[in-house]
């Protein structure tokens, strides 16, 4: 188990081994001896769901009076590389739960909405989920801007919203102000912590001045503020950040501005679709031939980044040698989740926010069972109870449901982290330090722990 550290105490260390061999793939991790029954053909969850639709349901959905959950994930748009696999993780969790008696003896229904990585689409989708479908809880969104556009709708309708990936510090501030009335949580740590991790990484690399090029939304602004404050506190110098509009399609002036004074490093805060275009623009202008180091953030940690940006005339990957940080999936349940996920989706490895998505859905169903209610306000009151100490530590959601049914207190230990929520709905931060190799492969070099 990882030690919780303060934001002023950061440790770089070896990353936990996360690979899982073929041995044990046949073990029925979907089941536990005391909690689960074998899945039926309708609930096995062995095929990837159709994520091309903006309104789909899990294969285990029913029209009964059981727990109804929604997902608000970016199946299309700038974060589509993440959204489809995240939707798979949410669906797999619900199918797993329904294979072990569901919640209060009823199947859980999952209603999926594509937020298109657009705040307006996210707001419309949350309105549908809350007011038409009348879900009790929602897993999502990913982009902080989409969560900002949807969270007030969730609160107004007494719907618990748990984001697997929205990391803006704005949510912490608003939670402290009482805006969310306890209906907001997230299983990815806030960028307050990632900014500290980035600043420490930059200092360890010997960078004295860093320029920042960032998307002008809640995610970009929050991370820029956090990094700037932390880096300045470590004695570093930062020029005025260069911001770009989320709907921009050309970036020549922005990259010229960021690289203008030949800084030691340029930090890019972006998403894969626009971020790859920015890096292509910088390359075409000859700006990546200098000694300036590229630093990327979690929004760009994607296995396809090297291919998206492309190769130079000699066949070398343009982004080879970049470094970055991203929330690390290192919870006690990671190995079990990874094996289950790979078995369900043709041996595909989970993506960066897939464990967080699994955990968000898991906490909702465990809280509903503990509350013995499908009402959002009742579920909200039980979220911290099933996730935080004290209680019997449990990594298997079916085992956790069985213990709750028997009247026992549990402490859910997730795939992404130990899932210990603070009063603002935040979890402790653990970050991968990653790079792109000469072969175009994403490789994690070490980890950073930042506690709150």
Q: Are the CB atoms for 318 and 283 separated by under 8 Å?
A: yes
User: Domain check: are 339 and 221 in the same one?
Assistant: no
- Residue 191 binned pLDDT confidence (cut-offs 50, 70, 90): confident
**Cβ neighbours for 264, distance < 8 A, ≥ 6 positions apart:** 206, 207, 208, 209, 210, 292, 293
**CATH number of 205's domain:** 3.40.50.2300
Supply angle C-alpha 408, 28, 356, rounded to 5: 65
Q: What are phi and psi of 275, to 5 degrees?
A: -60, -40
Three-state DSSP state, 369:
helix
User: Domain check: are 169 and 222 in the same one?
Assistant: no
Is 107 part of a structural domain of the chain?
A: yes
- Cα atoms in the 13 Å half-sphere on the side-chain side of 423: 6
| First CA to last CA distance, the chain | 16
Structure confidence at residue 451 (pLDDT): 60
Q: Which tops the pLDDT comparison, 336 or 17? A: 336
User: Domain check: are 365 and 402 in the same one?
Assistant: yes
Q: Are the CB atoms for 322 and 297 separated by under 8 Å?
A: no
Q: Which tops the pLDDT comparison, 366 or 4? A: 366
**Using CA atoms, how far apart are residues 400 and 393, in angstroms rounded to an integer?**
9
Structure confidence at residue 53 (pLDDT): 37
Q: What are phi and psi of 447, to 5 degrees?
A: -130, 155
Structure confidence at residue 440 (pLDDT): 95
Place of tokens 């997902």: 71
Is 261 part of a structural domain of the chain?
A: yes
**Using CA atoms, how far apart are residues 304 and 287, in angstroms rounded to an integer?**
22
Q: What is the chain's alpha carbon radius of gyration, rounded to the nearest angstrom?
A: 21
Structure tokens, 202? 């930059």
pLDDT in tens, 336-355: 999 999 999 999 999 889 99
- Residue 25 binned pLDDT confidence (cut-offs 50, 70, 90): very low
Q: Which tops the pLDDT comparison, 422 or 21? A: 422
In this structure, of 55-59, 238-242, 354-358, the range with the lowest mean pLDDT score is 55-59
Structure confidence at residue 151 (pLDDT): 98
In this structure, of 15-19, 86-90, 167-171, 208-212, the range with the lowest mean pLDDT score is 15-19
Supply angle C-alpha 129, 106, 186, rounded to 5: 45
User: Domain check: are 209 and 120 in the same one?
Assistant: no
Three-state DSSP state, 351:
coil
**Using CA atoms, how far apart are residues 51 and 53, in angstroms rounded to an integer?**
5
Which residue range(s) make up the domain with 62?
Answer: 18-190+330-427
Structure confidence at residue 290 (pLDDT): 79
Average pLDDT, the chain: 86
User: Domain check: are 205 and 65 in the same one?
Assistant: no
User: Domain check: are 185 and 118 in the same one?
Assistant: yes
Supply angle C-alpha 54, 169, 163, rounded to 5: 30
Structure confidence at residue 12 (pLDDT): 33
Say whether pLDDT at 54 is over 60: no
pLDDT in tens, 69-115: 999 999 999 899 899 999 999 999 999 999 999 999 999 999 999 99
Structure tokens, 92? 């797999």
- Mean pLDDT for 52-75 is 65
Counts for the chain of helices (H) and strands (E), in that order: 13, 17
Q: Which tops the pLDDT comparison, 226 or 59? A: 226
User: Domain check: are 267 and 373 in the same one?
Assistant: no
């Amino acid at each position: 188990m990882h030690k919780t550290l303060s934001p002023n105490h950061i440790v770089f260390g070896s990353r936990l081994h996360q690979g899982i061999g073929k041995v044990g793939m046949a073990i029925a991790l979907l089941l536990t001896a005391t909690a689960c029954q074998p899945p039926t053909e309708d609930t096995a969850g062995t095929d990837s769901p159709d994520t091309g639709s903006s309104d789909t349901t899990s294969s285990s959905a029913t029209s009964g009076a059981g727990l109804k959950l929604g997902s608000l994930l970016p199946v299309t748009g700038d974060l589509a590389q993440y959204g489809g696999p995240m939707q798979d993780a949410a669906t797999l969790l619900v199918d797993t739960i329904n294979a072990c008696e569901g919640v209060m003896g009823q199947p859980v229904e999952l209603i999926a909405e594509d937020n298109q990585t657009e705040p307006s689409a996210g707001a419309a989708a949350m309105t549908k989920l809350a007011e038409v479908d009348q879900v009790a809880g929602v897993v999502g969104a990913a982009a902080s801007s989409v969560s900002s556009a949807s969270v007030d709708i969730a609160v107004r309708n007494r719907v618990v919203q748990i984001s697997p990936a929205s990391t803006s510090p704005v949510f912490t501030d608003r939670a402290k102000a009482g805006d969310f009335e306890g209906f907001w949580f997230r299983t990815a740590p806030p960028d307050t912590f990632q900014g500290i991790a980035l600043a420490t990484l930059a200092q360890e690399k010997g960078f004295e001045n860093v320029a920042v090029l960032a998307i002008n939304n809640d995610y970009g602004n929050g991370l820029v503020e956090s990094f700037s404050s932390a880096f300045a506190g470590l004695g570093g110098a930062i020029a005025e950040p260069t911001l770009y509009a989320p709907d921009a399609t050309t970036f020549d002036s922005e990259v010229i501005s960021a690289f203008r004074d030949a800084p030691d490093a340029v930090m890019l805060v972006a998403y894969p679709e626009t971020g790859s275009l920015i890096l292509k623009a910088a390359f075409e202008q000859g700006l990546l031939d200098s000694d300036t180091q590229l630093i990327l953030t979690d929004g760009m940690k994607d296995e396809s980044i090297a291919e998206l940006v492309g190769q130079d005339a000699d066949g070398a990957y343009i982004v080879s040698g970049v470094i970055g940080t991203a929330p690390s999936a290192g919870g006690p349940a990671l190995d079990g989740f990874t094996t289950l996920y790979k078995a369900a989706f043709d041996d595909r490895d989970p993506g960066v926010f897939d464990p967080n998505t699994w955990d968000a859905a898991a906490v909702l169903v465990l809280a509903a069972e503990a509350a013995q209610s499908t009402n959002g306000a009742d579920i909200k009151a039980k979220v911290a109870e099933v996730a935080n100490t004290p209680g019997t530590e449990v990594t298997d959601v079916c085992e956790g449901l069985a213990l709750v049914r028997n009247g026992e207190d549990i402490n859910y230990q997730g795939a992404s982290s130990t899932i210990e929520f603070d009063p603002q709905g935040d979890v402790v931060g653990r970050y991968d330090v990653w790079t792109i190799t000469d072969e175009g492969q994403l490789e994690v070099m070490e980890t950073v722990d930042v506690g709150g």
